[in-house]
Structure 1
């Protein structure tokens, strides 16, 4: 569907979007050259482009052939998060290279970051778009429609006198657009075109490029119109954007070169590399916090109400994050994440939240934005997340990878230990209470089995750490509660008639979260109760492709959802640990086939097997992919050794 005089397909598949960023924010770019989602200068800033959530009223920034029938093909430049879109016709070819300049990808201290923000001489999170003709000639059109604050604020557009750019103001957001080297393209013109949406005028530029000719567009956001004019002045046009592109590429390539990928992940090295780049992209450089996803309100089912704001950091992701970083051999990111964890503001364990903002914000009030129609009509748009007020006991067990500190060179100092000890004491005081569970149920709290297991994990890892380090702890109490909790889980959490661990005490509902029990060390993977839980999960909680649903919805919300990529990875991990390696590989490869051309994943897979549902790209899915790829490679080697050992014994007999 093409609307009006525009040439953007209204609803590109979510997994068709390329994602670029600078560890402060990201921009989502469709194969037709349209930037349809951008929150600048930070991940959680109000959006300036939101056509992803409303094809008619949302803002966008598109550079593409004037002939709207041409389809673009996208790729990432080798080992980077720099995106290139190529358009080819009989008359010519153009390449659109998109990136956010990166000064460094090395972790920096809070003091260094603060100084950089206070004394900066360049715009934050600039979007650079370089268009070059590589063959023949082609007419190109640029269209920019800024819709500040999720299109809820009107925009005022002023063109520069020299026809080289524009300033757009809306509320507290001030956007500057500049075009470099326009004097080399005589056909270049820029104008404000008539738009039915009088609140948000559209800027249009048209030009023809011949082989070897290029143009560069620069867009940035400032909180003051005076700052925007100062930072986006004539001097900025003198910058060497080719040099900045080369430097940005080198930063990404140097970073990924430090990851242990090719030597450890065999045939899946490419997928692990892209997932690693996604995780780095979603790491907020100033604090080390990791975004769950850079988008909000992308639906879990089209037309339903299951869509949430994921632009926050969940404490439960601590364990998965550190495990993935440890698998990659990345120490600085793990240390930065731990540093962030040590700085989050809470008075005591009673005050701990499920999630925090990337600047350590505690107030994440959930609000509905009614002006936008939502992705494919799935409304409302949600800003903030009400789950931050829930009690979720599993988050404390998310600290269980503290035992990997020696492997990842993270020092467990006395101040951090005081916090960990307080959290374990909190578990001792509260493990018998119901909670909202890992899936953040919006029903009455229950005794979720997975939450109880993660309470056991917190106790178990706390005991191990105290023993290994000799740091002060109430070991007798911790040990007593750990054993009491384990006995209760095995008695009340496993249903012999069902042959599986259940979602909560007293029900017969399956929950894919219980696939984590052997992965966190609660049970051996070949324990009969775990073997039967895996079988029941495969029988009752998977689709024909072997993809796993989180649970059959009983969560107080209407509608359904797709299968869950993370849970599917947990099944793969279990099969690998059981030496059912061929089955695990088959499911993993089917899952990989559901990614878009760029190898990015959202949270779920819909009924048609395409990666559409859920916010995109999702960090937890990419963490799970890294871990599953590692587990598959390790399982193959381990199972081969087991078979070889068995053959040796039989030969001796």
Structure 2
């Protein structure tokens, strides 16, 4: 077992649009919720080195490792160089309905390319976030891992299996020793051009193969796998076909940041649920924003707070189907009689019950406790989400989507609700847990709900009480300018009549609340750069107390917001310099966590983070447009201002 935790930014990620696996540089799978992203984990050593469980394939002795994704795919390759030779482990997951064989599988190919290499295999599943161990049964193809303990208490899997859970199968041609407690092991002595395959899978109760297997004399034997090389080829083809639109479109990403932007698009796709169209905020839970602290949250759910920017990112990458599916998912959330039922965050299939629990028996990443499962932010009041929903509809309409009469009825209910509640305090976009406040960003987003509602009504000739909407919109604007702006600081503040700053104020001109040449906007940008930006250009979310102990790193998305603000203020050279510094954080695999710490050089928080990659894509969009590249869609937000309102 490893003695130290892997730095967060050094993980690679693979997935199948239902779940994701994180792979460390030593070839160890250290995180895999199974079979879905919001299921309990079967490997979680990233949260507890001893108890979490892992699946390692790596050299026996010392080695150097280099990693890359196969070009334009989410197929990960880790190449190990040892004194005796070189071997490469290729990791991927087949895509549902797109590749042969069961999609509930992790494929791992081990190939020796030079000399000879001894590779150690350690298969140590731990069910239910490490709470339950495993016992092993031999099969014709390898081993079968079943829960050791009370399966009735296991949350990892469904009750479709013969014992109340679905067992895992590890198929391989090399016999595994199961003598070690809870671990199956073997050592491969590979010579040049020799290859071994390891396929981790679960029975799919809905597949015909599984039904045939269940009816057979020995139901412990899983169905036969297809040729794994054919599965790899099909998976590679899927990813390259998916990214094809950005590769060939006349789009801004043919510029200097093409590769890192395409990688961000591929990462965003990995976090998309293929059935629902929702997008998870991240692939993990409880990776800390503060090492050793309590700022550890479960991000395997879908937040509404940046829905409009998600639509913009997907659409401008040419992924119209994904943008449309996400749009439909958002509209489904709007179809409620009472807008107070709309939550800030949902499960990936629209689940509303996300009760937050603590797994006290896990040590947490680098002793950062507690480990949390679920997220109580689902029950918070966040007024900004209404503006985000209406803004997302308005943005999607720019890319060709229509607003049906039923959609319009739902939007009108939301906008009328905003007229009733916009004066209320709330938890805000950052989900503070020290009580509701009068957050300026929440008020601005209420203004956005009315402003874009008016725009949609006029664009689609829909009936609406436009005079009332304009009156409330003007009231919000007047109050924000009166109580949300500090003459003393020369900046918009985080809360009414406050003295703390918040990076969300960078969005005020992007959203069309004020033009970029307004002196209050210019002062806000300078104040945020002075107080929230560090020497390396990284931007914190806010200053001031938020009710939690400890500190956090700079928020990646906020740093990209600063890039956007600089571009749209005409400071393109400054924006490009900052953007290129941010891109350097992505490393060889092009991945970003939620936060960055310039002092330690660490990435912090859950990983990879959708909003970080959305920020990267959209900043590339703004920069590219400012530098003269053609944009594949309408001008981005902030580049179409007229009289202080977005048009």
TM-score normalized by the length of structure 2: 0.90
Q: Evaluate the alpha carbon distance shift between residue 192 and residue 224 of structure 1 in structure 2; reply closer, same or farther with a 3 A threshold.
A: farther
Of 237, 248, 253, the residue aligned with 1:250 is 237
Of 88, 93, 100, the residue aligned with 1:95 is 88
Would the aligned equivalents of 1:456 and 1:486 in 2 still touch at CA under 8 Å? yes
Would the aligned equivalents of 1:594 and 1:611 in 2 still touch at CA under 8 Å? no
Secondary structure of 2:123's partner? strand
Find the aligned partners of 2:350 and 2:213 in 1 and give their Cα distance: 30
Cα distance, 1:421 vs structure 2? 1.2
Q: Evaluate the alpha carbon distance shift between residue 236 and residue 82 of structure 1 in structure 2; reply closer, same or farther with a 3 A threshold.
A: farther
Would the aligned equivalents of 1:396 and 1:458 in 2 still touch at CA under 8 Å? yes
Cα distance, 1:164 vs structure 2? 2.4
Of 378, 382, 406, the residue aligned with 1:392 is 382
User: 2:178 corresponds to which residue?
Assistant: 192
Q: Evaluate the alpha carbon distance shift between residue 163 and residue 624 of structure 1 in structure 2; reply closer, same or farther with a 3 A threshold.
A: closer
Report matched runs for 1:259-408 at 5 Å.
259=246, 263-265=251-253, 266-344=255-333, 346-399=336-389, 400-408=391-399
Of 146, 154, 158, the residue aligned with 1:168 is 146
Measured against aligned partners, the alpha-carbon deviations of 1:487-524 in whole angstroms (never above 9, x if no partner) come to: 11111110011100000001111111111111111111
Cα distance, 1:572 vs structure 2? 0.8
User: 2:169 corresponds to which residue?
Assistant: 177
Count how many residue pairs are aligned between Structure 1 and Structure 2.
605
The answer to which of 572-581 and 337-346 deviates more is 337-346
Find the aligned partners of 2:284 and 2:143 in 1 and give their Cα distance: 28
User: 2:135 corresponds to which residue?
Assistant: 156
Residues 1:62 and 2:56 are matched in the alignment = yes
Find the aligned partners of 2:395 and 2:205 in 1 and give their Cα distance: 45
Residues 1:431 and 2:422 are matched in the alignment = yes
Cα distance, 1:612 vs structure 2? 2.1
Of 533, 543, 553, the residue aligned with 1:552 is 543
Q: Evaluate the alpha carbon distance shift between residue 402 and residue 163 of structure 1 in structure 2; reply closer, same or farther with a 3 A threshold.
A: closer
User: 2:10 corresponds to which residue?
Assistant: 16
User: 2:447 corresponds to which residue?
Assistant: 456
Secondary structure of 2:176's partner? strand
The answer to which of 396-405 and 510-519 deviates more is 396-405
Find the aligned partners of 2:192 and 2:544 in 1 and give their Cα distance: 56
Find the aligned partners of 1:179 and 1:51 in 2 and give their Cα distance: 22
Residues 1:421 and 2:412 are matched in the alignment = yes
Residues 1:489 and 2:480 are matched in the alignment = yes
Would the aligned equivalents of 2:490 and 2:520 in 1 still touch at CA under 8 Å? yes
Cα distance, 1:465 vs structure 2? 0.2
User: 2:638 corresponds to which residue?
Assistant: none
Off by >4 Å, runs of 4+ in structure 1: 103-106, 222-229, 231-238
Cα distance, 1:235 vs structure 2? 7.4
Secondary structure of 1:74's partner? strand
Cα distance, 1:472 vs structure 2? 2.0
Measured against aligned partners, the alpha-carbon deviations of 1:541-580 in whole angstroms (never above 9, x if no partner) come to: 1111121111124110000011111111111111111121
Would the aligned equivalents of 1:105 and 1:252 in 2 still touch at CA under 8 Å? no
Would the aligned equivalents of 2:493 and 2:500 in 1 still touch at CA under 8 Å? yes
Residues 1:206 and 2:219 are matched in the alignment = no
Find the aligned partners of 1:209 and 1:521 in 2 and give their Cα distance: 62
Would the aligned equivalents of 1:602 and 1:611 in 2 still touch at CA under 8 Å? no
Q: Evaluate the alpha carbon distance shift between residue 243 and residue 515 of structure 1 in structure 2; reply closer, same or farther with a 3 A threshold.
A: same
Residues 1:83 and 2:76 are matched in the alignment = yes
User: 1:74 corresponds to which residue?
Assistant: 67
Would the aligned equivalents of 1:73 and 1:87 in 2 still touch at CA under 8 Å? yes
Would the aligned equivalents of 1:105 and 1:255 in 2 still touch at CA under 8 Å? no
Measured against aligned partners, the alpha-carbon deviations of 1:252-298 in whole angstroms (never above 9, x if no partner) come to: 01111112677313111111100000111100001001000010000
Measured against aligned partners, the alpha-carbon deviations of 1:579-636 in whole angstroms (never above 9, x if no partner) come to: 2111111111111112232010001111425342110000011001000011112123
User: 1:49 corresponds to which residue?
Assistant: 43
Report the aligned-residue RMSD: 2.2
Find the aligned partners of 2:408 and 2:234 in 1 and give their Cα distance: 40
Would the aligned equivalents of 1:177 and 1:217 in 2 still touch at CA under 8 Å? no
Would the aligned equivalents of 2:327 and 2:396 in 1 still touch at CA under 8 Å? no
Find the aligned partners of 2:98 and 2:582 in 1 and give their Cα distance: 30
User: 1:644 corresponds to which residue?
Assistant: none
Report matched runs for 1:619-638 at 5 Å.
619-637=610-628
Would the aligned equivalents of 1:33 and 1:72 in 2 still touch at CA under 8 Å? no
Find the aligned partners of 1:206 and 1:228 in 2 and give their Cα distance: 34
Cα distance, 1:236 vs structure 2? 4.5
Residues 1:511 and 2:512 are matched in the alignment = no
Measured against aligned partners, the alpha-carbon deviations of 1:424-455 in whole angstroms (never above 9, x if no partner) come to: 11111110111111100111211100000000
User: 1:126 corresponds to which residue?
Assistant: 105
Q: Evaluate the alpha carbon distance shift between residue 228 and residue 71 of structure 1 in structure 2; reply closer, same or farther with a 3 A threshold.
A: farther
Find the aligned partners of 2:202 and 2:515 in 1 and give their Cα distance: 52
Of 103, 114, 117, the residue aligned with 1:138 is 117
Would the aligned equivalents of 1:124 and 1:221 in 2 still touch at CA under 8 Å? no
Find the aligned partners of 1:272 and 1:42 in 2 and give their Cα distance: 26
Secondary structure of 2:201's partner? strand
Q: Evaluate the alpha carbon distance shift between residue 228 and residue 613 of structure 1 in structure 2; reply closer, same or farther with a 3 A threshold.
A: farther
Would the aligned equivalents of 2:292 and 2:367 in 1 still touch at CA under 8 Å? yes
User: 1:606 corresponds to which residue?
Assistant: 597
Find the aligned partners of 2:103 and 2:94 in 1 and give their Cα distance: 9
Secondary structure of 1:191's partner? coil
Cα distance, 1:237 vs structure 2? 4.2
Find the aligned partners of 1:490 and 1:561 in 2 and give their Cα distance: 30
Q: Evaluate the alpha carbon distance shift between residue 122 and residue 270 of structure 1 in structure 2; reply closer, same or farther with a 3 A threshold.
A: closer
The answer to which of 578-587 and 479-488 deviates more is 578-587
List alignment gaps of at least 5 residues for structure 1: 1-5, 107-120, 183-187, 196-200, 639-653
Find the aligned partners of 1:77 and 1:262 in 2 and give their Cα distance: 24
